[in-house]
Structures are given as structure tokens and as C-alpha cells.
Amino acid sequence: MNALALDQGQLDSVPPLLTLSPAMPHVLLGEDDADTRRLLAWTLRVAGYDVVEAVDGLEVLDEMDSSIRQNCSRPFSVIVLDVNMPFLTGLDLLAALRSAQWVTPVILITAFGDEAIRAEARELGAFAILEKPSDLDELRTAVLRTLSLACAAGRKRPR
């Protein structure tokens, strides 16, 4: 299904999740386009993820800081970022995370997926790079695969 195939009425007709399980993966979604952000967040929530939305790079940083200070028992399991956001791009944020030695997996989404962006994203350690408008199944699969790989990598680390 194409990411633009659902309209607002369809999004509004889906009931919200009533309870959040402590085991529910916590996803931070940074996307500046409101319609795209709403659709991607809805897709992830329906798939069973607890999603926190951010409208630009600075808000992504604020949400991460808030998560650390107020809810360190539930850090973000995965971060999904638009490459082209105001203030700080997805690539800027990914570089800052890696520079600070954060290991939280990051998935990038881009409408401008040229090879230079893909190469930089791979070099910075992005788990996946998706094209916009992304197939919603592709997003769900990428998040599930990223979480699975991160979980497997975490089990291999010495304690």
C-alpha cells in the first residue's frame, strides 16, 4: 500500500490503543510533514508500537532529553527520522547520536534518496534507509527487522 493511500477519515476511524504495555517498543518519529507524520505514526501504533512524534530536529532532541530525564526505564527502542527536517536533519541527528556513542537504532526516510545520502547514512550506522513515499508494510518490516537485529546484537554483548 502506498503511504498516501489512506485519507484522514480512515486514520480517524482506527481506535487508539487503550493501554500501553511496558514491553511495547518505544519509537521516536521525527517528520516535519504533518500528514506524513500522522500516517507513519498511525501505521506504527496499529502495529503495536508506542510512538512519540516530533516535528523537527530540535524537537527530536527535546524528546530524547525528556525520555532520558523523565522515563529512563523506557528509552526509545528505535528512532525513525526524515532526512530533510528543519533545524537539524536526520543525518545531523544520526551523526550526533553516534558521536555521543548512542547505540539506539535509527531508520532514515528520504524523498531525495540519492547515493550520496545513502552512503553517508550507511557510514553513520543507519539500520535502514527508506524512500518516500514509503510503502507502509516496508516501514513496519524495517522497524521489526531493526528491533530484531538490535535485540540480537544486545544479547551478544558481554555483560
Q: What is the pLDDT of residues 82-121, one digit of tens each?
A: 999 999 999 999 999 999 888 899 999 998 778 999 999 9
Report if residue 149 sits inside a domain: yes
Q: Pick the residue with more confidence: 6 or 95?
A: 95
Residue type (1 letter), 157: R
Which residue is it, cell 530533510? 84
Of 146, 148, 154, the C-alpha closest to 125 is 146
Cell of residue 1, nine digits: 500500500
| Position 127 in a domain | yes
Answer yes or no: is 77 within a domain.
yes
If one compares 155 and 146, the residue with the highest pLDDT of the two is 146
Task: Say if 135 falls within a structural domain.
Answer: yes
**Amino acid type, 61:** L
pLDDT digits (tens, 9 = 90+) for 23-46: 688 999 999 999 999 999 999 999
Contact (CB, 8 A) for 127 and 149: yes
Question: Distance of CA 7 to CAs 11, 59, 152, Å?
Answer: 7, 26, 37
Pairing of strands 128-131, 78-82: unpaired
Which DSSP string do the residues of 16-41 spell out, in sequence order?
PPS---TTS-EEEEE-S-HHHHHHHH
Report if residue 91 sits inside a domain: yes
Whole-number Å distance between alpha carbons of 8 and 111: 22
Q: Band the pLDDT of 19: cuts 50, 70, 90.
A: very low
Q: Is the pLDDT of residue 2 over 70?
A: no
Q: Is the pTM of this model over 0.75?
A: yes
Does residue 136 surpass a pLDDT of 70?
yes
Domain annotation covers residue 14: no
The number of domains in the chain is: 1
17 falls within a domain: no
Are the C-beta atoms of residues 94 and 126 closer than 8 Å to each other?
yes
pLDDT at site 74 = 64
Question: Is 59 part of any domain?
Answer: yes
Domain containing residue 31: 24-156
Domain of residue 77, CATH code: 3.40.50.2300
Mean pLDDT of all residues in the chain? 81
Contact indicator for 112, 131 with CB cutoff of 8 Å: no
Evaluate if residue 16 carries a pLDDT over 60. no
% of the chain beyond a pLDDT of 90: 56
pLDDT at 21: 42
